[in-house]
């Protein structure tokens, strides 16, 4: 039975399920950061920063809209033409995600009271939300000619910049993230405090035991979108990312990575197709450890306004190198094929969930480094008031290796992993200006800092393997400051 037809019991409604999952993920499950394969860290962390950035942008837009909607005019509610009633109705429609109805109500207000600049700004923001940028720009320009509060003027100017950016044939977006993290077991030392060598257990040496460490993290990205001039809205997309993680103690696990991708985004009423070519160059302890070249095709479509099924196939060549810190790196050299299938579901205008399955077929120079992997991941995205957001994810996977590594054991390696992540974030204004405004009635942050996002992430790694060398756990706490600029 389809999901949307299988919710007759009130306590099984999607919103209640999402709230329950969020609570479980936040307080009961940890977040997994797999360290058996350092080559995966840059891509995983970069993708997480992209998801956090997109969620933060949605939260900021909602906060601007709600802030503009908090206009109170005592005289309006006594107006015989029911201006106040229309305003209240518009706010209720926005809460329900019915922006066209809200726009119509605000338009009725302006027909009676055209001098209400705050209502007009609110109207423009709603028009922007439904992609009617032509009329939104006209309303915003009209508002700027009036004598309005400086804070409202800044919000209107922000929207005008977004409209101007959207009109460009070529749009450039700069992303900057910087922060630090703390790991309780950065070197992924076995939980048993023993290693298996030739089917014989040996105790870990003191230097190989669990190592707590801190790190500085930087993620910088550039995204380019070029309109190809078709009515359907086809675009050429390109991006470049730089990732850096500098350890305080375990210098052998310093990671830096350069990656990029390019390809068209082809849109039609049936399915959106995004083929792309990508590459990456990863350094471990300042030596080239991995070069990747590959191609992928992503497919997605919106169904019933709430569901967005997606699929992807990805084929790449992984050119691992042997380095001082890993003299057997070349054994992992080979091709990797991945297939992804899943869907996202919009519970309401503030919540989304997604679930996906990934099949991985990893080839390698040595068979004991090749494996077949299966993974299921579920994610929950929650936009909260005043620009706050909460994201949770949990992934379960199983990797079955094709041959035994006889230097360790005669058994074929079998890994089971859990990876979970919980991130909370909000704009700096929430942490600083909100309490200061409440106490002293004024703001303290400079204008250029207001859209910076401060986020906190908790992760926990847990891998269970039939080879004790690969059974370990790790807790990770991180804090990140992020900024997004559009040109």
Rounded distance, CA 117 to CA 152, Å? 10
Q: What angle do CA 107, 134, 145 make, to 5 degrees?
A: 70
Residue 292 has pLDDT above 90, yes or no: yes
Q: Rounded to an integer, what distance in angstroms lies between the CA atom of residue 187 and that of residue 474?
A: 9
Render pLDDT for 214-226 as a digit per residue (tens, 0 to 9): 999 999 999 999 9
Measure the CA angle with vertex 397, ends 395 and 399; round to 5°: 155
What DSSP designation does 137 have? H
pLDDT of residue 31: 31
424 DSSP β-pair partners: 390, 456
Give the whole-angstrom CA distance, residue 46 versus residue 38: 14
Listed range (62-71, 142-151, 287-296, 320-329) with the worst mean pLDDT: 62-71
Residue 377's pLDDT is 96
pLDDT in tens, 265-289: 999 888 999 999 999 999 999 999 9
Q: Which CATH number fits domain 170-486: 3.30.300.30, 3.40.50.300, 1.10.260.30, 2.40.160.40?
A: 2.40.160.40
The CATH class of 62-167 is: mainly alpha
Q: How far is CA 32 from CA 29, 188, 393, in A?
A: 9, 12, 10
Highest mean pLDDT of the ranges 9-23, 133-147, 313-327 = 313-327
Rounded Cα distance between 73 and 81, Å, is: 14
Predicted confidence (pLDDT) at residue 482 exceeds the cutoff of 50:
yes
In this structure, are residues 203 and 194 in contact, taking their beta carbons and an 8 Å threshold? yes
Contact 468, 194 (CB under 8 A): yes
User: If DSSP codes are grouped into helix, strand and coil, which group holds residue 333?
Assistant: coil
What is the pairing mode between strands 213-227 and 200-203?
unpaired
Q: Give the phi and the psi of residue 264 in degrees, each rounded to 5.
A: -85, 155
Q: What is the band of 4 on the pLDDT scale with cuts at 50, 70, 90?
A: very low
Closest CA to 190 of 200, 198, 175, 202: 202
Residue 107, pLDDT score: 84
Position 46 confidence tier, pLDDT thresholds 50, 70, 90 = confident
Q: Are strands 351-362 and 371-383 parallel, antiparallel or unpaired?
A: antiparallel
Q: Tell me the CA distances in angstroms from 308 to 272, 301, 312, 411, one per residue in order.
A: 11, 5, 13, 42
- Which residue is listed with tokens 């992540």? 421
The structural domains of the chain, with segments of one domain joined by +, span 62-167, 170-486
Residue 23 confidence (pLDDT)? 41
pLDDT, tens digit (0-9, with 9 covering 90-100), for 296-307: 999 999 888 789
| Contact (Cβ atoms closer than 8 angstroms) between residue 31 and residue 420 | yes
pLDDT cut 70: percent of the chain above it: 85
Q: What share of the chain has pLDDT > 90, as a percent?
A: 47
Q: How far apart are CA 217 and CA 255, in angstroms?
A: 10
Cα dist from 248 to 213, 251, 457, whole Å: 6, 7, 19
Mean pLDDT calculated for residue range 95-118: 80
Query: What pLDDT score was predicted for residue 73?
Result: 41
Residue 457 has a pLDDT of 96
Mean pLDDT of the chain: 84
**pLDDT exceeds cutoff 50 at 435:** yes
Question: pLDDT at position 393, please?
Answer: 95
Q: What is the pLDDT of residue 387?
A: 87
Half-sphere exposure of residue 198: CA atoms within 13 angstroms, side-chain side? 0
Q: Which residue has the higher pLDDT, 69 or 429?
A: 429
Residue 479 has, within 13 A of its CA and on its CB side, a CA count of 2
**Model confidence at 450, in pLDDT bands (50, 70, 90)?**
confident
The yes-or-no verdict on residue 20 having pLDDT over 60 is no
Q: Cβ distance 263 to 275 under 8 Å?
A: yes
Q: Name the residue with higher pLDDT: 94 or 128.
A: 128
Distances (CA, A) of 282 to 12, 124, 253, 274, 292: 45, 46, 12, 25, 9
Q: d(Cα 113, Cα 115) in Å, to the nearest integer?
A: 5
pLDDT band at 184 (very low <50, low <70, confident <90, very high): very high
For residue 461, the model assigns a pLDDT of 85
What pLDDT does residue 24 have? Answer: 39
Does residue 425 contact residue 458 with C-beta atoms inside 8 Å? no
Is residue 442 very low, low, confident or very high in pLDDT (cuts 50, 70, 90)?
low
Residue 114 pLDDT = 84
What does the pLDDT look like over 376-434, one tens digit per residue?
A: 999 999 988 888 999 999 999 999 999 999 999 999 999 999 999 999 999 988 887 66
Coil, helix or strand for 55?
helix
């Amino acid at each position: 039975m389809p999901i949307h037809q299988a919710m007759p019991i009130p306590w099984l409604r999607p919103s209640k399920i999402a709230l329950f999952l969020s609570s479980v993920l936040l307080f009961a499950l940890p977040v997994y950061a797999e360290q058996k394969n350092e080559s995966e860290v840059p891509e995983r962390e970069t993708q997480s920063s992209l998801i956090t950035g997109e969620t933060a942008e949605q939260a900021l837009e909602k906060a601007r809209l709600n802030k503009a909607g908090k206009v109170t005019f005592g005289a309006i509610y006594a107006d015989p033409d029911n201006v106040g009633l229309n305003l209240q109705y518009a706010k209720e429609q926005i809460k329900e995600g019915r922006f066209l109805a809200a726009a119509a109500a605000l338009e009725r207000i302006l027909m009676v009271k055209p001098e209400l600049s705050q209502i007009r700004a609110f109207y423009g923001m709603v028009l922007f939300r439904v992609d009617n940028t032509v009329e939104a720009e006209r309303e915003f320009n009209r508002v700027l000619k009036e004598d309005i509060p400086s804070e409202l003027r800044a919000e209107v100017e922000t929207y005008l910049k977004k409209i101007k950016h959207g009109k460009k044939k070529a749009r450039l977006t700069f992303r900057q993230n910087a922060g630090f993290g703390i790991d309780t077991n950065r070197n992924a030392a076995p939980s048993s405090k023993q290693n298996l060598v030739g089917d014989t257990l040996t105790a870990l040496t003191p230097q190989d035991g669990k190592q707590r460490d801190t790190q500085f993290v930087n993620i910088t990205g550039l995204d380019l979108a070029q309109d190809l001039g078709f009515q359907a809205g086809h675009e050429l997309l390109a991006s470049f990312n730089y990732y850096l993680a500098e350890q305080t103690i375990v210098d052998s696990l310093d990671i830096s990575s350069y990656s990029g991708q390019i390809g068209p985004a082809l849109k039609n009423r049936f399915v959106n197709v995004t083929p792309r070519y990508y590459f990456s160059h990863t350094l471990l302890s300042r030596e080239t450890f991995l070069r990747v070249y590959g191609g992928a095709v992503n497919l997605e479509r919106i169904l019933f306004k709430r569901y967005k099924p997606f699929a992807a196939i990805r084929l790449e060549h992984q050119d691992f190198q042997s380095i001082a810190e890993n003299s057997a790196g070349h054994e992992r050299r080979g091709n990797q094929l991945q297939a992804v299938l899943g869907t996202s579901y919009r519970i309401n205008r503030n919540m989304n969930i997604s679930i996906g399955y990934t099949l991985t077929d990893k080839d390698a120079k040595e068979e004991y480094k090749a494996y077949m992997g299966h993974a299921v991941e579920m994610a929950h995205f929650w936009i909260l008031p005043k620009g706050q957001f909460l994201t949770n994810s949990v992934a379960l996977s199983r990797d079955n290796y094709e041959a035994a590594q006889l230097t360790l054991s005669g058994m074929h390696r079998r890994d089971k992993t859990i990876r979970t992540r919980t991130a909370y974030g909000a704009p700096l204004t929430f942490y600083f200006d909100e309490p200061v405004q409440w106490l002293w009635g004024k703001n303290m942050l400079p204008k250029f800092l207001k859209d910076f996002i401060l986020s906190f992430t908790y992760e926990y790694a847990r891998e269970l393997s039939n080879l004790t060398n690969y059974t370990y756990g790790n807790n990770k706490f991180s804090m990140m400051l992020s900024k997004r600029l559009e040109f």
